[in-house]
């Protein structure tokens, strides 16, 4: 089933507008191309409404926000809402600074997001005002583990209900919920945390999945998470002696490029709660 979501991306080549950080932007673009989408980047307020209008989806990532790109996020987000486009929020570093937290909260107030995707500390910050964000990584104290899973599923469902968005919390165990159902996903490798921007890459990928799978957003979001995690597993299996995080980055994107429906359906590890 999730394999069909990927196949629809490859068939429809969704154009995705990214307002994203300059750290990981190149990888985001290559991941979008790898999965069959088409990326365009623009963060100038005077440019973004035109650009988002020709796209099917908008990926908003606050990883290196500035005064100008913040304006662009609001303009593009509202225009995308008007046009009924899919819109994703990646609140990078929410909880790490006042500006990041407030920008994410204001964005949630003024823009309707199809999906909010972050690590557990970022999402807790947005939900409770109390995550203990460690820079751009989740704090261990917040981590979703088998022990805290029931509680975490219920938290994610509630936050999805409150926001009216699909909420995707990614980490060792990933949770994707639309408030009714919650996908609990166990793909991925811990070594993915040693590559900058696997979260940002997933946000780009997920936006393409959302655009290509209209009316089937929950499965699309879960399919994107499984694709990224499974690519992390396949990429790791292709590592050779002497390889490290830089080669691993390439291997993961390569694995997305080569992923097909059958591989994804066979390799996706999830349950629905």
Count other Cβ atoms within 10 Å, centred on residue 38: 14
- Ranges of H-type helices in 238-273: 245-258, 261-267
Question: Is there binding between residue 104 and its own copies (CB under 8 A)?
Answer: no
Question: Is there binding between residue 139 and its own copies (CB under 8 A)?
Answer: no
Question: Is there binding between residue 39 and its own copies (CB under 8 A)?
Answer: yes
Our CB check for its own copies shows the closer of 195 and 206 to be: 195
Beta bridge pairs of residue 116: 89, 167
Question: Which residues inside 208-247 make contact with its own copies, applying CB under 8 A?
Answer: 234, 238, 242-247
Binding to its own copies by CB under 8 A, coded x per residue (else -) over 160-199, reads ----------------------------------xxxx--
Our CB check for its own copies shows the closer of 112 and 194 to be: 194
Q: What is the smallest separation between the CB atom of 68 and its own copies, expressed in angstroms?
A: 6
Separation of alpha carbons 175 and 189, rounded Å: 16
Separation of alpha carbons 134 and 93, rounded Å: 8
Outline where DSSP puts E strands in the chain: 15-19, 38-41, 57-61, 86-90, 115-118, 166-169, 174-177, 182-185, 270-272
Q: Which residues bind its own copies (CB under 8 A)?
A: 15, 21-27, 29-30, 33-34, 38-44, 46-47, 50-51, 54-55, 63-68, 93, 96-100, 134-137, 194-197, 234, 238, 242-247, 249-258
């Amino acid at each position: 089933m999730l394999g069909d979501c990927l196949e629809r991306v490859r068939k429809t080549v969704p154009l995705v507008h990214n307002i994203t950080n300059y750290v990981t932007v190149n990888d985001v673009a290559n991941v979008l191309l790898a999965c069959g989408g088409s990326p365009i980047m623009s963060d100038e307020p005077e440019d973004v409404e035109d650009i988002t209008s020709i796209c099917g989806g908008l990926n908003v990532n606050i990883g290196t926000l500035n005064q100008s790109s913040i304006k662009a996020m609001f303009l593009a987000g509202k225009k995308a809402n008007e046009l009924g486009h899919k819109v994703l929020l990646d609140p990078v570093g929410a909880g790490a600074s006042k500006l990041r937290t407030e920008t994410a909260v204001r964005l949630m107030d003024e823009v309707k997001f199809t999906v909010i995707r972050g690590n557990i500390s970022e999402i807790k910050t947005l939900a409770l005002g109390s995550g203990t964000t460690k820079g751009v990584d989740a704090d261990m104290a917040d981590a979703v583990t088998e022990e805290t899973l029931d509680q975490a599923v219920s938290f994610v469902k509630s936050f999805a209900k409150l926001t009216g968005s699909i909420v995707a919390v990614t980490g060792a165990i990933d949770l994707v919920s639309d408030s009714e159902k919650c996908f609990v996903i166990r793909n991925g490798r811990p070594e993915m945390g040693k590559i900058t921007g696997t979260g940002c890459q997933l946000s780009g990928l997920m936006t393409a999945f959302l655009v290509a799978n209209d009316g089937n957003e929950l499965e699309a979001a879960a399919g994107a998470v499984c694709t990224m995690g499974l690519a992390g597993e396949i990429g790791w299996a292709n590592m050779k002696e002497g390889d490290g995080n830089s080669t691993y980055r390439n291997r993961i994107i390569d694995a997305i490029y080569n992923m097909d429906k059958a591989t994804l359906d066979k390799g996706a590890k999830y349950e629905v709660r």
